[in-house]
Amino acid sequence: MKAVVLVGGFGTRLRPLTLTTPKQMLPLVDRPMIEYAIGALKGGGVDEVVLSLGYKDDAFRAAYPDAQCCGIPLSYAVEPEPLDTAGAIRFAADFAGIDETFVVVNGDVLTDLDLPQLWQRHHETKATATIALTQVEDPSRYGVVPTDAQGQVLGFVEKPPADTAPTNWINAGTYVLEAAVLDGIAKGRRVSIEREVFPRIAAAGGLWAVRSDAYWIDIGTPATYLQAQLDLISGVRGSAAPAISASAHIDPAALVQRSVIMADAVVAAGAVVHDSIVMAGAKLAANARVESSIVGTNAVVDHDARVVGMSLVGDGVLVGANQHLVGARLPASRLPASN
């Protein structure tokens, strides 16, 4: 079983963290995000992965120089220019010589989806494409997928206003595709699988879906990047991961509550960390306070400073003594609409 993993986006909603690191190489507690995705694919029977790369592709090759991740061989397909979701899938599949049924996943989704079940249902229905669905409260950020009672997709509505969505079952970012799907994706131009390819397959009666109640989170925003890690250390997905790295230094007079403190980070006396992420090598000085926020690699929050309200502090940035950040991003950067 081969899989294409989409990891080429700019991660603009997670800036400034992604100014230096591509989104799927950002750490989740103790290892890069991409390893959770590939580890889940391995558990589901995948034995070869093609990474569809674009932004900062060198970071992936540097992390896995032997082209292996989680014991699975990797291929690196680097887009010459952004080709959108379907264009990226075709480019990666052509690069890897995929000519049979294959899997596609979004590399920024953390899920316990039953991939063998999706694979089996795809073959039972003789579908052209089969997509996993998950249920959300607000479907307006996603592709909404109404189906009939058997799971055949009736339509594909990308990011509808919440009050017009026909259902709250949405595209969960995991697909099983026949190789014939690739023939319907034009080469060398931007093509969206959500807006162009899936609606066309649905209209022809070849798109099926499988609903899943398994754990699922789309790690595309600061809030979900934080929530995914709190879920990991809280045992929401099974055994709780250690929240504090063995190499971190937490002063006995500091207070750390429901937070991730990564390798070699330092939290000084009187500092308070609550519902937050302090990344590797970061330093919180005396009486600093970090709440519901993310402090990047090797960043410094100086004494009596406050970083609160879903603030993001980029790698190596200094938050000066007594400085207060509320919902801020440092360094600030203009955020394009795409992710």
Digit-coded pLDDT (tens) for 172-224: 999 999 999 999 999 888 999 988 999 999 999 999 999 999 999 999 899 99
Say whether both 66 and 113 belong to one domain: yes
CA terminus-to-terminus distance, the chain: 29
Same-domain pairing of 309 and 185: no
Q: The CATH number of the domain where 63 resides is what?
A: 3.90.550.10
**Among 221-225, 330-334, 335-339, which stretch is predicted with the lowest mean pLDDT?**
335-339
Whether the pLDDT of residue 27 is over 50: the answer is yes
Report the half-sphere exposure of 273 (CA within 13 A, side-chain side).
29
Q: Is the pLDDT of residue 337 over 60?
A: no
- Stretch 161-180: mean pLDDT, rounded? 89
Q: Give the per-residue pLDDT at 205.
A: 93
When divided into structural domains, the chain yields a total of: 2
Show which of 188, 221, 254 is a domain's final residue: 221
Instruction: Give pLDDT, residue 157.
Output: 81
How high is the mean pLDDT of the chain?
A: 92
Question: Is residue 197 domain-resident?
Answer: yes
User: What is the full DSSP assignment across 164-231?
Assistant: G-S-SEEEEEEEEE-GGGGGGS-TTS---IIIIIHHHHHHTT-EEEEE--S-EEE--SHHHHHHHHHH
Residues 162 and 25 in one domain: yes
As a whole number, mean pLDDT of residues 26-55 equals: 94
The pLDDT value recorded for residue 336 is: 46
Q: What is the dihedral of CA 187, 191, 196, 201, to 10 degrees?
A: 40
106 vs 333 pLDDT, higher one? 106
Q: Are residues 166 and 302 in the same domain?
A: no
Alpha carbon separation from 327 to 60, 141, 224, 247, 313 (Å, rounded):
30, 21, 15, 29, 10
Clarify whether residues 125 and 193 are in a common domain: yes
The Cα–Cα gap between 101 and 121 comes to 13
180, 41, 208, 184: which is closest to 123 by C-alpha? 208
In the chain, % of residues over pLDDT 70: 98
How would you classify the pairing of strands 143-144 and 207-211? unpaired
Higher pLDDT, residue 313 or 239: 313
Confidence of residue 156 (pLDDT cuts 50, 70, 90): confident
Rounded to 5°, the CA angle 98-101-103 comes to 85
pLDDT of residue 237: 83
- The answer to the question of residue 42 being in a domain is yes
Which domain range does residue 212 map to?
2-221
pLDDT-derived band of residue 334, with 50, 70 and 90 as boundaries? low
Q: Is 290 in contact with 278 (CB distance < 8 Å)?
A: yes
pLDDT at 335 over 50: no
pTM over 0.75: yes
Specify whether 150 is located in the same domain as 280. no
Vertex 51 angle, CA 180 and 219, to 5°: 105
Q: What is the pLDDT of residue 8?
A: 87
In-domain check, residue 58: yes
Give 12 or 266, the one with higher predicted confidence. 266
Structure tokens at 75: 């291929």
For the stretch 115-148, pLDDT in tens is 999 999 999 999 999 999 999 988 888 888 999 9
The answer, yes or no, to whether residue 76 has pLDDT greater than 60, is yes
Q: Nearest Cα to 325, choosing from 301, 14, 337? A: 301
- pLDDT for the residue numbered 338: 44
337 assigned to some structural domain? no
Q: Is the pLDDT of residue 296 over 50?
A: yes
